[in-house]
Amino acid sequence: LYGIDPLIENTFQSFWQQQYEDGEGLRLMTEENTVIISRQTAQNMQLQIGDPFTVTTDTGDHVLKIIDWLPENDAKELFEHLIITDIATAQEILGLVGKLSAIDVVIGQDQTAKIQQIREALPADILLMSHNNQIESLRQMTRAFSINLTALGMLSLLVGLFLIYNTMTFLVIQRRHLIGSLRSIGVTRQQIFRLIMGEALLLAVIGTVLGIVLGIVLGQGLLHLISGTINAIYFPVDHSSLMVTPLQIGKGFLVGIVATLLAVLAPAWEATRQSPQGVLLRSELESAVRRLIQSAAMLAVLFILSGLSLVLYTDNSVSLGLAGIFLMLFGFALLMPLVTFVLMTVFEKILARSSSVLVRLPVRMVKAEISRTGCAIATLMIAVAAAIGMDLMIGSLRQTVSEWVQTSLQADLYVNLSGNMQAANKSEADRLLKQKLAELNGVEMLSSVLRTKLISANTLTKVSVFELNAKSRQGFVFKRNQNNEVWESFNRQNSVFVTEPYAYHQGIEIGDNILLRTTQGEKVFAVIAIYADYSGDQGHIAMSRENYKKYWPDLGYSGIGIYAEQGANIVQLEAGIKQLLKPYQTVKSEQAIYKVSMQMFEQTFRITETLRWLAAIIAFVGVFSALMALQFERIRQFGILRAIGMTPGQLSRLISIETGLMGLVAGLIAVPVGFIMAYLLIFVVYQRSFGWTMAFHFNAGVVFQGLILALVSALLAGVLPALKMAHTKPADALRSE
């Protein structure tokens, strides 16, 4: 419910830009309980102009009448949850007669002097904030979240680079005879290079346009997940429409084109550096690639070390931390051809005594065509490592949050007290309710909390005001070793606790001071403890109710904890409490709050898991197509094997063993890489992003799933070539023209 002054709004350039004609705006002021809502809200409630509807507040039920619609403009989604009325009407409905929530001020010339005059005239507990500062504050709140979403998108792009490289390498290899023939009749290296790059540019334009269209569709589908996370951690946000700007389209188009051309440079350059005779020989390509393996490995080590340096030695930068992880992933990918070659050499020696050609030949085939198998294995390794790393990170945070919630919930029942009554009225009503709760049969003791905002360093700071008992104190998980004396200081001195995220973002340590604006002027409060809190990433200050009442007016309670006596019937106690509550007040059990808390956690990280699976699907499709391309490229080799007596069943096993070996190598390397990624995400990136610290929880199931994902992806890639060869005559496979 939003109370306005209709006369002022017409000249104030209000954000809803309502235009009143023939005194229409005066109806809000002259007609009792009249309101304006959006047409969409009215349709949802099946209402029309002139219809009444009922709202419930602290002061009871109120019947309101719709007299007009809010405008249909670019911000119409913002209005779907608003009821607009006159200030006086809003004050009466909410029980806030004579009170205002905020005053908007437009300042003309000489802004600095006027701002100073306004600030000096304000009471101590009123904050003057510029519109731009409020917007920037919201941006800063979601900055880390936005960076992490961008990083997940970049992960898909990194996998895509390898897929593009695979595709263009396959096209170049497939046309080596054509390129050799063109070189033989006089086509220059530069012309071949321009030909390949031109084809890549054409494919890039087509693929990027399709990607942008699909990205918009996908973005609309992901919007409710992202808004759900923002709602859970930051602030309420609507998610009914997707905003697409020309800048976003331009960035997507530029990234798609540039990424494609960068990925094609290597195969295009490789196609031009060989002589016409060498281009016609596949062995020349493999020899060239083997010569590059050691150089690539040295470059890989450089990337890995550079990535580690960025992650570990760059203060609090989230972007540099993520950039370091990407450099490391790219480095491990460059290392895969050498790792594959070494492992296949080891397998070859181990299997040297095996008499079965179906066992020895697949190992040699992986090694012999390292130019194709190495990149496919690297792509699969990155996808599986990312899946393992993200799974371990989310699992560790889930376990940490679960343990924290269970520790924090010391009471048996929790009463939630919301409302907008005037402070004196709410304080007295809450005090009487608390007294009645304490007198109920089965209640041993109570605790309480008031959640409010105070002014610190010219910004609004969240503060939790606690009234604790011996048991509720056990719900605090301190991040530093504390003794019992800390509780005495917490209750009696000008001292506070701060949550871990608040301490991290504000750079506060135990022993530092925080300046808070009180009704008696600014007062210094000493930070005596830092404790864990995963309810948000901005954090808050905690102080005792005894300290709070010295400097600020009593605002009642936000919640009351009920501690039942030993053997008390919780269900009956909950029913008795409900009889004392108003309709907008609720009581929930510890188990119910735990369940809701974990549901919020799952909602928060649902977008992360969704994007992770999208990256895995992209990798799976890419690896699937790359391995299939490799197998179809070998049709002639398979035809020779069939011609010398190998049966379709034996050929199928040969293909399956080869692709299985590739999947096994990718999976084996992905496990340690995934562990490194999870460690850096947990102890570096997420701590920098949200200020949380959490324990690393190993999950053997995640490792097993990663290995299975790698093996299944690789094995499925061999199914279609095997089926095709089973129905292809050797003569057809050997025919080249």
CB 28 within 8 A of CB 89: yes
Q: What would the pLDDT profile of 435-476 be if each residue is shown by its tens digit? A: 999 999 999 999 999 999 898 877 889 999 999 998 999 999
pLDDT at res. 564 = 93
Residues near 440 by Cβ (< 8 Å), separated by ≥ 6? 573, 576, 577
CB 682 within 8 A of CB 688: no
CA 263 to chain CA mean position, Å: 28
Identify the CA nearest to 102 among candidates 80, 121, 141, 128: 128
Domains of the chain by residue range: 2-104, 138-404+602-734, 418-584
Rounded to 10 degrees, what is the CA torsion of 29, 32, 33, 34?
Answer: -60
Q: What would the pLDDT profile of 491-503 be if each residue is shown by its tens digit? A: 877 899 999 999 9
Q: What is the DSSP letter of 494?
A: S
pLDDT at res. 667 = 92
pLDDT confidence band for 531 (50 / 70 / 90) = very high
Q: What would the pLDDT profile of 532-590 be if each residue is shown by its tens digit? A: 998 877 889 999 999 999 998 888 899 999 999 998 899 999 999 999 988 778 999 99
pLDDT confidence band for 636 (50 / 70 / 90) = confident
Residues near 394 by Cβ (< 8 Å), separated by ≥ 6? 605, 608, 609
pLDDT confidence band for 355 (50 / 70 / 90) = low
CB atoms inside a 10 Å sphere around CB 254: 11
Q: Tell which wins on pLDDT, 630 or 81.
A: 81
Bridge partners (DSSP) of residue 498 are 530, 541
CATH architecture of 2-104: Beta Barrel (2.40)
> Is residue 530 classed as helix, strand or coil in its secondary structure?
strand
Q: Is the pLDDT of residue 139 over 60?
A: yes
Distance CA 253, CA 247 (A): 10
State the average pLDDT over residues 705-718.
84
Q: What would the pLDDT profile of 717-735 be if each residue is shown by its tens digit? A: 777 777 776 677 777 767 7
